[in-house]
Structure 1
Amino acid sequence: MCGIVGLFLKKDDLRPQLGDMLTDMLITMTDRGPDSAGIAIYGDEAAGLKITVQSDTPDEDFAGLDAALSGALDTEVAMRVASTHAVLTLPLDKEAKALAFLEARGLRVMGSGESMEIYKEVGLPKDVAARFGIRAMGGSHGIGHTRMATESAVTTLGAHPFSTAGDQCLVHNGSLSNHNAMRRKLAKKGVFTKTENDTEVGAAYISSRIAEGASLGEALEGTLKDLDGFFTFVTGTKNGFGVVRDPIACKPAVMAETDDYVAFASEYRAFADLPGIDAARVWEPEPATVYFWER
């Protein structure tokens, strides 16, 4: 079943409240999928690259990690730890070497980018949000997901959002029927996924299209032609936020827009505490129709 939320702020005065609003929206969706949850926050740009990593034994794995990575890269590395996750900041041109170092140490890379941070774990949305301090995080936009696993195990890596490129991520409600065939097509292009989850294939498809020169809107339109099944996708990029539903649109979805923000949720009740919601334009996104906003 699963529950999705997304919030794109048009005005900067709401930026400090982004994490708080997204947390309330996601908690409201708990009964749509209580086994794991995650949020991607697009906050202030780093002076370089931010890589979010996860560990089941953070006290052991994060001790001295910044110093070790700094030595391996021969450059300064900053680290901020939040429970089982750590955000490492380093020069952009050191990304490939840093990712190889982190994966060799058995750390799970949640995502990377100049502004995006991804936090996800097994557990209820209220607990996941609390352990990472999501309410205190500000930013321009974000997406979240609470999962009911149907096609893969309940694990941290199986939780959404999925990221397969810098500052890009995806959350999904539904099921893809041709994800294995698409996985093979993407592998031939040098785009590889790490999990059995069909959502990661959707994320990889969109990021590969953007890497080939497609706009966010064009990449989302491509999903309607190349991906089979029933799905609602909500995607985030460094500058944007997009939504698309399959031609049948059997999964619930609703959107709201004011002069201050655009919001998405699986159900209207997630909007209840948003400022100005009484005056918002509220609608159900049409099947096979792409909606996106960019800064």
Structure 2
Amino acid sequence: MCGIVGLFLKKDELRPKLGGLLTDMLITMTDRGPDSAGIAIYGDEVSGRVKISVQSDTPKMAFADLDNDLSADLDAPVTMKILDTHAVLSLPAEAEEKAISLLEEKGLRIMGSGASMEIYKEVGLPKDVAARFGLRDMGGSHGIGHTRMATESAVTTMGAHPFSTADDQCLVHNGSLSNHNQMRRVLAQKGVMTRSENDTEVGAAYISSRIADGASLGEALEGTLDDLDGFFTFVTGTKNGFGVVRDPIACKPAVMAETDDYVAFASEYRAFADLPDIDGARVWEPEPATVYFWER
């Protein structure tokens, strides 16, 4: 079943409220999928540097001196922010590929990377996951979240959403893809690899692959309608954008709201209850096989 939320802020003065607004929206969707939850926040960036979000089941041991060790291995300055089972490492952009390889060698799970994106996800109820990471206190320009009822893979951290397969790009999904194994092989032939058994990660990889080939966010989302089979609602984030698409049948619930200040998405209208000026918002159900996206 699953529950999806997303919020794209049009005005910078709302940035400090992003985490709180998204957290309330996500908690409202708890009964649509209580086994795991996650959120991607697009926040501040530093020119020339990239952030890598990692996870460990033994964070006390795994994160001890990780920033200093990685700095020595890369011969470059590395800083680290630890939040429960996750750490966000900041390092020079040119060292990203080597850093990810070194982190995987250390047994750390890569959640995502990018100039502005941070991803936090874990097994558990949305309210507990949000509290563990302090999501309510995070600011940013936009973000997406997901609370999961597992259908396609096990209840694990790596099976939780959002999924990221390229810098500053991630995806959450409600539904099920029927040709994800076939598409996984097609993407692998192009050198695009996935880390989990979840069909949603294939959707994320498909979109990032299309963008890497020169497609716009809108074109990449349109491609899902031709190349991905099944029923799905996708909400995706990029460094500058936020997009939504539903399959041609559109059997999964979805609703959107827009004001002069923001664009919001949720699986159910009740997730909008605490958004500012929601009474004055334009509210609609996104049409089947129609792409909606906003970019800065």
Q: How does 1:210-221 map to 2 (within 5 A)?
A: 210-221=211-222
Q: SS of 2:152's equivalent?
A: coil
Q: Which residue identity lines up with residue 6 of structure 1 in the other structure?
A: G
Residue 39 of structure 1 deviates from its aligned partner by: 0.2
Q: Which residue identity lines up with residue 167 of structure 1 in the other structure?
A: D
Whether the 8 Å CA contact 1:21–1:274 is kept in 2: the answer is yes
Instruction: Name the CA distance, whole Å, in 2 between partners of 1:68 and 1:25.
Output: 38
- Name 1:105's counterpart in structure 2: 106
Residue 104 of structure 1 deviates from its aligned partner by: 0.1
- Name 2:294's counterpart in structure 1: 293
Unmatched 5+ stretches in structure 2: none
- Name 2:11's counterpart in structure 1: 11
1:201 aligns with 2:198: no
Write out per-residue CA displacement over residues 129-157 of structure 1, whole angstroms, 9 at most, x where no aligned residue. Answer: 00000010000000000000011100000
Instruction: Name the CA distance, whole Å, in 1 between partners of 2:29 and 2:36.
Output: 12
1:233 aligns with 2:241: no
Q: How does 1:229-268 map to 2 (within 5 A)?
A: 229-268=230-269
Q: TM-score, normalised by structure 2?
A: 0.99
- Name 1:222's counterpart in structure 2: 223
Q: Percent identity?
A: 83
Instruction: Name the CA distance, whole Å, in 2 between partners of 1:39 and 1:262.
Output: 17
Residue 64 of structure 1 deviates from its aligned partner by: 0.4
Q: SS of 2:287's equivalent?
A: coil
- Name 2:31's counterpart in structure 1: 31
Instruction: Name the CA distance, whole Å, in 2 between partners of 1:230 and 1:259.
Output: 31
1:284 aligns with 2:285: yes
Instruction: Name the CA distance, whole Å, in 2 between partners of 1:236 and 1:192.
Output: 19
Write out per-residue CA displacement over residues 96-140 of structure 1, whole angstroms, 9 at most, x where no aligned residue. Answer: 110010000000000000000000000000000000000100000
Q: Which residue identity lines up with residue 218 of structure 1 in the other structure?
A: E
Q: Which residue identity lines up with residue 242 of structure 1 in the other structure?
A: G
1:80 aligns with 2:94: no
Q: Which moved more, 1:269-278 or 1:42-51?
A: 42-51
Instruction: Name the CA distance, whole Å, in 1 between partners of 2:286 and 2:97.
Output: 38
1:54 aligns with 2:55: yes
Q: What's the Cα RMSD here?
A: 0.4
1:126 aligns with 2:127: yes
- Name 1:45's counterpart in structure 2: 45
Write out per-residue CA displacement over residues 166-222 of structure 1, whole angstroms, 9 at most, x where no aligned residue. Answer: 000000000000000000000010001011100000000000000000000000000
Instruction: Name the CA distance, whole Å, in 1 between partners of 2:102 and 2:189.
Output: 25
Q: SS of 2:160's equivalent?
A: coil
Instruction: Name the CA distance, whole Å, in 2 between partners of 1:192 and 1:25.
Output: 32
Could you list the runs of 4 or more consecutive aligned residues of structure 1 that deviate by over 4 angstroms after TM superposition? none
Instruction: Name the CA distance, whole Å, in 2 between partners of 1:195 and 1:53.
Output: 15
Residue 46 of structure 1 deviates from its aligned partner by: 2.8
Q: TM-score, normalised by structure 1?
A: 1.00
- Name 1:181's counterpart in structure 2: 182
- Name 1:22's counterpart in structure 2: 22
Instruction: Name the CA distance, whole Å, in 1 between partners of 2:112 and 2:292.
Output: 24
Q: SS of 1:180's equivalent?
A: helix
Task: Name the count of aligned residue pairs.
Answer: 295
Instruction: Name the CA distance, whole Å, in 1 between partners of 2:59 and 2:202.
Output: 28
Instruction: Name the CA distance, whole Å, in 2 between partners of 1:81 and 1:197.
Output: 26
Whether the 8 Å CA contact 1:46–1:89 is kept in 2: the answer is no
Q: SS of 2:139's equivalent?
A: coil
Instruction: Name the CA distance, whole Å, in 2 between partners of 1:151 and 1:18.
Output: 30
Write out per-residue CA displacement over residues 43-90 of structure 1, whole angstroms, 9 at most, x where no aligned residue. Answer: 011340000000000000000000100000001100010000000000
Instruction: Name the CA distance, whole Å, in 1 between partners of 2:260 and 2:98.
Output: 43
Instruction: Name the CA distance, whole Å, in 2 between partners of 1:106 and 1:119.
Output: 17
Instruction: Name the CA distance, whole Å, in 1 between partners of 2:101 and 2:258.
Output: 41
